[in-house]
């Protein structure tokens, strides 16, 4: 691979954004495949149907959590990419790695939802979240170092992007640590953090 | 999450549109996975194949309904987003919630198609439609309040967008209420409303 | 639905193109889900694996046909949309109907591939192709009538677009008619037409 | 198909890029469907869950390989398309063929991962990679011959693009040839080449 090729490869932020949107769209909707209508043979009245739907509620909740987590990282990634002037081969590969962890998220969410009392499930979930955050952190570092960031960026933006990732990851790590007491404390804490990141900005403007 | 970060996060309407198109594409095509070719062992002549295909027709109809419903909300969402100058963190999250209900629509359509005589299935379907409309209503309120709407917008547009949502939702709610008489009346009414929204604009220009 | 709303709804060609690309991407790749690696228990040597793969070749061929057909209509649709200045509510709905038939294409291709000797399978396939062509024809008529076409279009373009659809559909209809003799003649003729539309433009420039 | 139509068909690089991103997104995430959470009945303690997850690791590795391979070709394709001014009917069809091989890649990767000791699996995988590279080579040849490349392109770009494809394909072919000694040597060599193409550009700038 010659230097000339490396300089010209993977420069389109638009293509990176479009691939990301496609992969996010797929990953976010993956767990909906597990929501199946109750079997018609098992339902004889409204009461049965109600129970059939109630039995689906853990899966629906799990799906919502996976959607929420990926929504948070989608917003995080687009905030970075919006500030880039162009991409670069290295940056593209960091985001391809990021997208890999995006597609793993429905699996690790389902794992955690199925095995709420197991520390391994919790740590697998946390490791996934950590890799997502780490990839975004690397991506921003790479973008600023290689001068891919737009010139007209507000001066407080680079620090704000980094701080956001570090604080969020510190909270997730603290949540994961709570599994020393109980995995249920961990899950409650992590869900609370995620709801805060999704809902919080709606009020305090 | 600092104020600086909140101001810069999730501003791209293009990314929001692209994620939406990906998720709509996935959700609209989800029920086609249930259309399976008749088993070759069960088919001995043209007559058998005809019956095998006829047996698929309820699924095909259900798929068309889901496609139609999502088509209506896709047009509704893009009409809003076309008038926005930029997005915003709050608006992004309203649309992520909207997209969640988009992905649930194939499930609730399939539920209704399977249990046409059950009020719970009808109410679940209506609740889904209501959440879709409510999210779009919130989105427009948020966009106008935060000044995200384009400046060169025609003066009658904001009222037209709101009126459209309120009238459609009133019709859907009336349709849902008809289940006091019979769920079949409800379904017939709701299907008629949806066909009107899809087909109507073709003639009266 | 007020007149004001109808005028502003569904105007973005870009959104229509993006939804189409998402749905085409999904539909074109749908049949690859049926390509499953041979079971490891049934394979004891290279010979077994070769036979296992050979047994998949009809599915691979079917997948190629579905990919090819959808490729043809993707090129056809984008050629139209490239010439549009803006979209419109009616046009959006014609394309949503078009996309519905796009998503049905893998099913009707699989049906034909499974039941090559059955006229009903052939007619179902032909009906699908016809609906695709008819929607594109309607779309172009709608676009020219409503003045959605770009101003700087070359004068021969509108006629060329129509002629292309009519000739292709005439060929497909003739192919379908050949099933009076034998469905295999029909299939051979339709495949030949499709290969011509895909490959032909590569040489005669 | 008249000459007029051929001149106007399939000219949008943006549409081609968008379809490609959709198909890549789908193909890259296809193998994640095989990652299923261990059955809850089989897990009684942390140890069981650990073993259940460890049993998934070959599938996870296979998924990573497929993601990596497709990432390489995604970067390769976008590098080409970024330099094009417009597309063309012939070029569109070369890329549709390219995308076909993209969607086959998860299958051939899974085949190789399941049958690591079988030469047929290795050759099927190599043939897939070869077709991907060959389509990109054809695409670049077609684009330069038909004058679709942007005018302001740096003079060393065309040669760099070709050299990159030829060198990579020579390495893959050498890797495939190693199966004369052992398929495991082949796999190790090909994986090493792919890791180099993904990771290498991160350091030597």
pLDDT score of B177: 94
**Residues in chain C, how many?**
205
pLDDT band at B4 (very low <50, low <70, confident <90, very high): low
B200: exposed, middle or buried (Cβ count in 10 Å: 0-12, 13-18, 19+): middle
ipTM of the complex: 0.90
pLDDT at D201 over 80: no
Q: What does pLDDT average to over chain A?
A: 89
pLDDT band at C3 (very low <50, low <70, confident <90, very high): low
Q: pLDDT of C124-174, one tens digit each?
A: 999 999 999 999 999 999 998 988 888 888 888 888 889 999 999 999 999
* Residue D25 with chain B: CB contacts under 8 Å: 22
Cβ count within 10 A of residue A23 = 27
- Cβ separation D27–C29 shorter than 8 A: yes
Burial D150-173 (b: 16+ CB within 10 A, else e): eeebeeebbebbbebbeebbebbe
The position carrying tokens 């009245």 is A45
In chain A, beta strands by DSSP E: none
Q: Bigger pLDDT: D201 or A91?
A: A91
- Cβ separation D29–A25 shorter than 8 A: no
pLDDT score of A118: 93
pLDDT score of A201: 52
- Whole-number Å distance between alpha carbons of A162 and B62: 47
% pLDDT > 90, chain A: 63
Q: Which of A5, A62, A141 best probes binding to D when mutated, by most D CB atoms within 10 angstroms?
A: A5
Q: Bigger pLDDT: A4 or A106?
A: A106
The secondary structure of residue D9, as a DSSP letter, is: T
CA distances from A76 to A201, B15, B128 (A): 14, 12, 28
Report whether B160 contacts C5 (CB < 8 A). yes
pLDDT band at D3 (very low <50, low <70, confident <90, very high): low
pLDDT score of A3: 62
- Whole-number Å distance between alpha carbons of A88 and A12: 8
> Nearest CA of chain A to the CA of C51: how many Å?
33
- Whole-number Å distance between alpha carbons of A157 and D13: 33
% pLDDT > 90, chain C: 63
pLDDT band at A75 (very low <50, low <70, confident <90, very high): very high
Kindly state the average pLDDT of the residues D131-148. 92
- Cβ separation C12–B78 shorter than 8 A: yes
Q: pLDDT of B102-126, one tens digit each?
A: 999 999 999 999 999 999 999 999 9
pLDDT score of C2: 57
pLDDT at C204 over 50: no
- Whole-number Å distance between alpha carbons of D48 and D38: 10
pLDDT at B171 over 90: yes
Q: What does pLDDT average to over chain B?
A: 89
Q: Maximum CA pair distance of chain A? A: 70
- Whole-number Å distance between alpha carbons of C176 and B98: 44
Highest mean pLDDT among A98-102, A142-146, B36-40, D40-44: A98-102
Nearest Cα residue to C136 out of B43, D5, B165, A95? D5
The answer, for D25 touching chain C at a CB cutoff of 8 Å, is yes
Name every residue whose Cβ is closer than 8 Å to that of residue B122 and which is 6 or more positions away in sequence: B112, B176, B179, B183, B186, B187
> Nearest CA of chain B to the CA of C138: how many Å?
11
- Cβ separation D19–C24 shorter than 8 A: yes
Kindly state the average pLDDT of the residues A64-91. 91
The answer, for A55 touching chain B at a CB cutoff of 8 Å, is no
Alpha helices in B83-118 (DSSP H): 89-114
The position carrying tokens 């087909």 is B199
pLDDT at C201 over 70: no
Comparing A25-34, A182-191, C148-157, D194-203, which segment has the lowest mean pLDDT? D194-203
The position carrying tokens 């805060």 is A196
* Residue B119 with chain A: CB contacts under 8 Å: 46
Q: pLDDT of D17-32, one tens digit each?
A: 999 999 999 999 988 9
CA distances from D142 to A166, B168, C197, D136, D155 (A): 48, 51, 18, 10, 18
Cβ count within 10 A of residue A158 = 16
- Whole-number Å distance between alpha carbons of C186 and C183: 5
Kindly state the average pLDDT of the residues A123-150. 93
Report whether B143 contacts B149 (CB < 8 A). yes
Kindly state the average pLDDT of the residues A1-23. 81
pLDDT band at A205 (very low <50, low <70, confident <90, very high): very low
> Which residue in chain A has the smallest CA separation from B102?
A29
Q: pLDDT of A147-175, one tens digit each?
A: 888 888 888 888 888 999 999 999 999 99
């Amino acid at each position: 691979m010659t230097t000339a090729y490396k300089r010209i490869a993977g420069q389109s932020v638009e293509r990176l954004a479009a691939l990301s949107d496609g992969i996010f769209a797929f990953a976010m909707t993956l767990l909906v495949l597990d929501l199946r209508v109750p079997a018609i043979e098992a339902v004889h009245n409204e009461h049965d149907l109600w129970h059939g739907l109630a039995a689906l509620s853990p899966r629906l909740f799990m799906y919502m959590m996976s959607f929420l987590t990926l929504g948070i990282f989608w917003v995080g990634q687009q905030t970075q990419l919006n500030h880039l002037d162009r991409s670069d081969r290295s940056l593209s590969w960091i985001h391809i790695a990021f997208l890999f962890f995006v597609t793993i998220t429905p699996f690790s969410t389902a794992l955690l939802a199925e095995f709420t009392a197991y520390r391994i499930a919790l740590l697998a979930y946390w490791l996934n979240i950590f890799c997502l955050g780490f990839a975004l952190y690397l991506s921003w570092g790479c973008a600023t170092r290689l001068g891919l960031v737009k010139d007209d960026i507000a001066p407080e933006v680079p620090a704000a992007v980094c701080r956001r990732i570090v604080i969020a990851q510190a909270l997730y790590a603290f949540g994961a640590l709570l599994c020393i007491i109980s995995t249920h404390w961990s899950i409650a804490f992590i869900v609370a953090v995620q709801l805060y990141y999704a809902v919080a900005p709606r009020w305090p403007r």
